[in-house]
Structure formats: structure tokens, C-alpha cells
Amino acid sequence: MKTSLLYGIVADESSKTRVRCVFCGVYIPKANKCIEQHTNGTRHKENIELMSENGINCNNDVLYCKPCKRTLNEDESVTKHIDGDDHANWMTAMEDLVDGEFISLVPYLSGEKDEVFCEVCNCSVECTPLNIEEHVNDFNHRANVCEKLKPLNGIFAVENNDEVWCKICNLYLENTVKSILEHIDDDEQHMDWFAEIEDLIDGQDISIESYLSNEHESNAYCNKCHVEIGCNVLSIEEHISTEMHLS
């Protein structure tokens, strides 16, 4: 009988005929067939997955939510808790804070780490909204993000250190963190180019990384056909419609 915390099944002290699933917050008849049916069911498996995605773990026979820093009530299932305002608001706020900042919440939520790691600053940050907000708004972090994004956006240094050059837009920008990040995030021409090119190469096994990171490279590369293609909409459209690429 799967009456173990591995499956979230524990004895019900108030009854000899049923057991309780800690993960799902339900009672199950104390019969092997019923327990097997529940632990193999879609709902139970989804709750286990949701726990690892939402920072919920099982200590002894109770559920504990790391983000909310509290123990769940006996009748509070995983889904009921994560749909609650406190947990949902925490997740939304944190996901908004780390979006595009090279910080992953996954190790923290899965229980591997008690902190989050900032890839661009090579440091750990205590996983609270306030600490992460302070970190991502810090000038050093913004500068590190800027340096990380330059070769991903075709932006290069020029002899005049007061400016940088955007290869995509053929435009010179003020060489400041604010100017570069505003161009990447808000310039319509820059964003439209990426949207159109990325839509074209999606699922086509065509790489534009060398084009973006090498100032003098003019081609994309088709890994399927092993040929270079001009890194522009017309050339890529023509290539993906060729017999060689379609075959």
C-alpha cells in the first residue's frame, strides 16, 4: 500500500477505513486499488508537478509553501493554495521582476536552492520581492544586462567611445546603459526586425547568432542545408521555399 509521503498518502487518525492525500487535500478509501487509482491519476500527478513549480514541499505530513512562508491547512490542496491571492500575487510579482533579467526562479521553487542566482552578476540574491527589486534596479546589474544583450542584438562598440552602433537598424546610439536598453526594448524598427526574422526562422533550423555577434558577418546559417543565407527577410524567405530546404 502506498501509504508514504513519497506519494503524499498518510494515515487518517480519525478513521480506520480511509487515508488522506496531503498533496490533493482529499480522503481515499483505505484499499490498495483506490490508493493506486488516486496516485496514478492525472490530478495527483499534476499536483506533484505544481508543487515543484510553486515552491511547495512536504515536511512530515504537512505542506509548506516557501514563497508564502506558511504551512498549509489540512483541507488546503496544492491547487487551492496556488490559486489564492497571496501566492498568485507573489508569483506574478516575482516573474515580472526577473523577466529578462537573467535570473531564474526554478532552483528556488523546486527546492534546490534557498536563493536565486543572477547569471550576469554571478551572485546569489535572497528570494524576496524587495531584495530582487533592489538588485535588478542596481546600476551594476543594469550595466551587466546591457553587456549581455549587446551581442544578442547586433550592437557594437565604435572608435568613438561616446557611441555604439546597432547593426540591425544601422543607427548610432549614445553609449549609455539607459540609451542602449531603451533601444533594445522600445525601438519599433529594432523590435519589428527581430519579430519578422524570428517568425521566419522558427522551426527552420536557421541560426542568426553569428550575424548578431559578429560585426562583419552578413549571413545567417542554415544548419539543415549547411549553407549561408543573407540575413534579411527576402533571402531567408527564398531559402526556406527552396527544394533543398523543403526536402
User: What digits encode the pLDDT tens for the residues 168-182?
Assistant: 999 999 999 999 999
Residue type at 3 in one-letter notation: T
**Segment 70-93, tens digit of pLDDT:** 999 877 888 999 999 999 999 999
Distance between CA 181 and CA 146 in Å, rounded? 6
- Residue 60 has a pLDDT of 73
Residue 28 DSSP one-character state: E
Sequence-distant (6+) residues with CB within 8 A of 36 are 2
Looking at residues 62-73, what average pLDDT do you find? 91
> What digits encode the pLDDT tens for the residues 188-233?
999 999 999 999 999 999 999 999 999 999 999 999 999 999 999 9
Place of cell 528570494: 127
Q: What is the mean pLDDT of the chain?
A: 92
Edge-to-edge strands of the sheet including 115-118?
A: 103-104, 115-118, 123-126
What do you get for the CA distance between the two ends of the chain, in Å? 54
Residues in the chain: 247
pLDDT above 50: residue 8: yes
Q: Model pTM?
A: 0.81
Backbone angles phi, psi at 130, to 5 degrees: -65, -45
Question: How many C-beta neighbours within 10 Å does residue 131 have?
Answer: 14
Nearest to 38 by CA among 75, 62, 7: 7
